[in-house]
Amino acid sequence: MEAANSPQVISYIRWSSGKQRRNTSLKRQEELAVKYAERHNMPLSKVIIDDGVSGFSGDNTSSKGGLGAFKESLDQFPKGSVLVCENIDRISRMHPDDAYDVIRDIVKGGIKIVVYSGDDNVFEIKSHNDLGTIIKVIVELERAHSESKSKSQRTSKAFHKMLEGYEGGIIKSGQEPSWVKRKLGENNSPVGYTEIPERTAVIRKMFQLYEGGNGATLIAKALNAEGLKTFSKNTDWSSSSVEAIMKSRSLMGEAKFKSMLNDKPFIFADYYPVVISKEQFERCENIRKNRHNSKGVSTRNPSFLTGLGIAKCGYCGSSYVSQQASSKDKVLDKDGQIKDWARRLRCQGQASKGSTVCTAGTFKASILERAVIKYCADQVHMEEIINYTQSNQEKEALEQIAKYKKKLRELNNQEDRLVDELSFGAKISKKALERIRTNLENVSISIDTTKTEIARLEKEVTTSSPETLREHLQQITALQESLMQSGDNESRLKLRDIMMDIVERIEIFRYGLGHKLDRKKLAEDTGLKIHHPTVKRILDDSGVQCKTNKNLVFRIRFKNGHQKDIWTNTSADFWTIKSIPIEGESSTQSYLIHPLKW
């Protein structure tokens, strides 16, 4: 058994074309793992091969790829096992952010990665917390991605050139989008595409409604109410037909064809008329992701706090999910909406694993919704949230930007010096010249990475600025009265998007911050009756509370770092605000009592 639990060596081998295999790629990569296993006296237990699979597209890390399958089965390998590969670009040539996620997941799973970048040059990745390792990995990933991206762009340009003069740049390949038609030139020969105005007007209306907080179902209803029909079959719109069009990247002018060279798909920009800008398309994509594709959101009184990954159980850390009674006859009102008492929230950990994992029970969703809305809409609290942004997050972000800009100036100066050195190429040795070129490449990558980080931080400052935050909170105030009206789904979907922008996490303590022990379970464990004096004494001595509806606590943390505890007493229909001591700040408390009822 000890041998079975001892660390093992796993060999990962990838090439993207059959030609590479013929050029001894398989043998060379295989020998590296064998050499490592022999040197460290470890068994070579598995060889993973991705034959002809692209690392640039990420196919090898998907569930269909060998590396993707390995990632999903990490728990089958002993901790401390080693994944051996030749060069880090064998693992991935994707964008560094995506590629690093793959590496981090493997390392977090207890597997060390050993990368050979030469006969005697070995690079080990053992921890995802080591800053030096992280920087080196990201630099290597950036280099690999840049190389593949450059190759892809060169091939794409060559393919574009092959199209020039061929029927005006039109390829007969599959069906064209239903909102364009061919544009004819001299002798009725095709010279491109043009919009069908009455159809593109409908599409632009879809995106306008979607950004206004309407889901695909409501958009379909709106189009049908105007008597508008689908483009192909002239039938009524449905949520699926709306989604199919809104997800099409052809709206941005893109066209996808298989390459004449290697049967791989190529994307061509500006092939079709641009109906929706890239910025608007991506905004709606982000809204869709935030809503979890809207299919998980009920069309009746959709929740604006669950399904977003922000509502968590304060005891076990599981997500809180929506739950409703099963008998539709009893839970729906005369308008077909779910009655207030029937919409409940439940800890997913308790629901799936039982009280042995978590003892949190269910409660009415409206309690959390009303407390959060009233807190955010209250003028005093609104100013408190905004002022925290001004004094903390913005200051920290601006300090980081200043540091990165200083680093960027230093890198630019370093780049200038290296360029000057290269100008003397004829007077220095070949080895020194290669060193300068390598350093210049690394500096260029660092410059791009630093610029990206500066842009990210500047965007963060803008989106979390007092003005933007005030606008969001004022929207909540304006929506406050309509949010709890039966059937006002549009307002609830708008608030769902706002919550994704401003709230980082809401921890729910169903029976208060002190609740840990369950009286019934404690009685079972001790073999005593539930009201036995000894059971009471244990609970009293532990300083924790039993289950009670008087101590339902919501800990809300905003993305700017501001946080508060909202204590609710559902029996008395009131709630109390308590501030949370933050590390490095003095502890203050305020008690503001408000009615839970509207």
Q: Which of 450, 473, 503 delimits the end of a domain?
A: 503
The angle subtended at Cα 162 by Cα 161 and Cα 163, nearest 5°, is: 90
Residue 591 lies in a domain: no
The CATH number for 279's domain is: 3.90.1750.20
- 356-385 core/surface letters (b: 16 or more CB in 10 A; e: else): ebbbbeebbbbbbbbbbbbbbbbeebbeeb
The CATH number for 77's domain is: 3.40.50.1390
- Structural domains counted in the chain: 3
Residue 63 lies in a domain: yes
**Cα distance between residue 229 and residue 236, in whole Å:** 5
Which residues touch 213 (CB under 8 Å, ≥6 apart)?
Answer: 490, 491, 493, 494, 497
Residue 518 near residue 489 (C-beta atoms within 8 A): no
Please report the pLDDT score of residue 164 as a whole number: 47
Same domain assignment for residues 338 and 418? yes
Residue 301 lies in a domain: no
Please report the pLDDT score of residue 303 as a whole number: 66
Residue 522 lies in a domain: no
Q: Which of 242, 273, 290 delimits the end of a domain?
A: 290
Residue 389 near residue 381 (C-beta atoms within 8 A): no
Same domain assignment for residues 137 and 17? yes
Same domain assignment for residues 282 and 328? no
Residue 362 near residue 346 (C-beta atoms within 8 A): yes
Residue 550 lies in a domain: no
Please report the pLDDT score of residue 590 as a whole number: 40
Residue spans of alpha helices (H) in 13-163: 18-22, 25-39, 66-72, 96-108, 131-163
Please report the pLDDT score of residue 20 as a whole number: 45
How does DSSP classify residue 112?
A: E
Q: What is the pTM of this model?
A: 0.41
**Cα distance between residue 324 and residue 343, in whole Å:** 5
Same domain assignment for residues 144 and 107? yes
- In the structure encoding, which two tokens stand for residue 169, read together? 């740049």
The angle subtended at Cα 87 by Cα 81 and Cα 89, nearest 5°, is: 105
Q: Kindly report the number of other CB atoms within 10 A of residue 149's CB atom.
A: 13
Same domain assignment for residues 76 and 218? no
Residue 276 near residue 207 (C-beta atoms within 8 A): yes
Which residues touch 241 (CB under 8 Å, ≥6 apart)?
Answer: 220, 230
Strand-by-strand arrangement of the 9-15 sheet: 44-51, 9-15, 82-86, 112-116, 122-125
Residue 201 lies in a domain: yes
Same domain assignment for residues 213 and 326? no
Per-residue pLDDT tens digits for 195-211: 999 999 999 999 988 87
Residue 276 near residue 251 (C-beta atoms within 8 A): yes
Please report the pLDDT score of residue 60 as a whole number: 85
Same domain assignment for residues 340 and 396? yes
Please report the pLDDT score of residue 171 as a whole number: 55
Please report the pLDDT score of residue 275 as a whole number: 95
Share of the chain above pLDDT 70, in %: 62
**Cα distance between residue 373 and residue 556, in whole Å:** 12
Nearest residue to 367 via CA among 89, 570, 132? 570
Same domain assignment for residues 351 and 477? yes
Q: What is the dihedral of CA 179, 182, 185, 186, to 10 degrees?
A: -150
Residue 273 near residue 281 (C-beta atoms within 8 A): no
Please report the pLDDT score of residue 346 as a whole number: 82
- Indicate the pairing of strand 82-86 with strand 9-15: parallel
Residue 382 lies in a domain: yes
Helices (H) and strands (E) in the chain, counts: 20, 18
- 294-326 core/surface letters (b: 16 or more CB in 10 A; e: else): beebeebbbbbbbbbebbbbbbeebbbbbbbee
Same domain assignment for residues 121 and 211? no
The DSSP bridge partners found for residue 554 are 508, 566
Same domain assignment for residues 220 and 323? no
| C-alpha 48 chain-centroid distance | 28
Tens digit of pLDDT at every position of the chain (598 positions): 345 678 999 999 887 654 444 456 677 788 888 888 888 889 998 889 888 777 777 788 887 788 998 988 888 899 999 999 888 788 887 777 788 888 888 988 889 998 886 555 677 787 766 555 666 677 666 666 565 555 555 445 545 544 544 444 555 555 789 999 888 777 777 777 899 999 999 999 999 888 777 778 888 888 998 999 999 777 889 888 898 999 999 999 888 765 444 445 566 777 889 999 988 898 888 777 766 544 444 445 566 676 667 888 888 888 887 765 555 445 555 555 556 666 788 888 777 666 556 777 788 887 888 888 877 777 767 777 777 655 456 667 777 888 888 888 888 788 777 766 655 544 556 677 667 767 777 777 788 788 878 877 776 666 666 777 788 787 877 777 766 554 566 777 777 778 877 788 889 888 877 655 556 665 665 666 767 776 666 555 544 455 666 678 888 888 777 788 887 766 655 556 555 544 444 444 444 444 444 4
Which residues touch 301 (CB under 8 Å, ≥6 apart)?
Answer: 337, 338, 343, 486, 487, 489, 492
Range of the domain at 18: 2-154
Strand-by-strand arrangement of the 563-569 sheet: 311-313, 503-509, 552-558, 563-569, 574-579, 593-595
3-state SS class at 11: strand
Same domain assignment for residues 264 and 359? no
Please report the pLDDT score of residue 337 as a whole number: 57
Residue 596 lies in a domain: no
Same domain assignment for residues 150 and 186? no
